[in-house]
Structure 1
Amino acid sequence: MSGALPLTRRSMNDTRPASAIKICGVTTRDALDAAIHARATHVGFNFFPPSPRFLHLGQAPALAAQAEGHLVRVGVFVDAADDAIADAVAAARLDAIQLHGKEDPARAAQLRARFGKPVWKVMSVAGPDDIARADLYAGTADFILFDAKTPKGAALPGGLGLAFDWNLLRAYRGPLPWGLAGGLSPANVAEAVRGTGASLVDVSSGVESAPGVKDAELIRAFCLNARGA
Structure 2
Amino acid sequence: MSAQIKICGVTTTEALEAAIGAGASYVGLNFYPPSPRFADAETAGLLGRTASGRIPLVGVFVDPTDEEIEAAVAHADLAALQLNRTTALRRLRIRERFGLPVWAVIEVESHLDTLAVNHIDAADFMLWDAKTPKGSALPGGMGHSFDWSLIASVTPPLPWGLAGGLDPQNVAEAIAATGAPLVDTASGVERAPGVKDAALIRAFCMAARAA
Class of the TM-score when normalised by the shorter of the 2 chains: over 0.9
Matched, 1:196 2:181: no
- Residue equivalent to 1:126: 109
Matched, 1:151 2:125: no
Give SS of 2:24's match.
coil
- How many residue pairs match? The answer is 211
The one-letter code matched in structure 2 to 1:157 is P
Give SS of 2:78's match.
coil
The one-letter code matched in structure 2 to 1:117 is L
Contact 1:161–1:182 (CA under 8 A) maintained in structure 2: yes
Instruction: Measure how far apart 1:171 and its partner are.
Output: 1.1
Within the candidate set 34, 50, 56, 2:34 is matched to: 50
Matched, 1:112 2:62: no
CA distance in 1, matches of 2:159, 2:76: 24
- Residue equivalent to 1:3: none
CA-to-partner distance for each residue in 1:105-156, whole Å, 9 max, x for gaps? 1111111111000000111101122112023124x10011010001101131
- Residue equivalent to 1:187: 169
Q: TM-score, normalised by structure 1?
A: 0.90
CA distance in 2, matches of 1:163, 1:17: 21
Matched, 1:165 2:147: yes
CA distance in 2, matches of 1:113, 1:51: 27
Give SS of 2:208's match.
helix
Q: TM-score, normalised by structure 2?
A: 0.97
- Residue equivalent to 1:31: 15
CA distance in 1, matches of 2:156, 2:197: 34
CA distance in 2, matches of 1:70, 1:172: 34
The one-letter code matched in structure 2 to 1:217 is A
Give SS of 1:95's match.
strand
CA distance in 1, matches of 2:144, 2:123: 24
CA distance in 2, matches of 1:182, 1:166: 10
CA distance in 1, matches of 2:179, 2:73: 30
CA distance in 2, matches of 1:159, 1:165: 17
CA distance in 2, matches of 1:90, 1:97: 13
Instruction: Measure how far apart 1:174 and its partner are.
Output: 2.0
Instruction: Measure how far apart 1:90 and its partner are.
Output: 1.6
CA-to-partner distance for each residue in 1:82-107, whole Å, 9 max, x for gaps? 01111101211111000112x11111
CA distance in 2, matches of 1:24, 1:163: 16
Contact 2:52–2:77 (CA under 8 A) maintained in structure 1: no
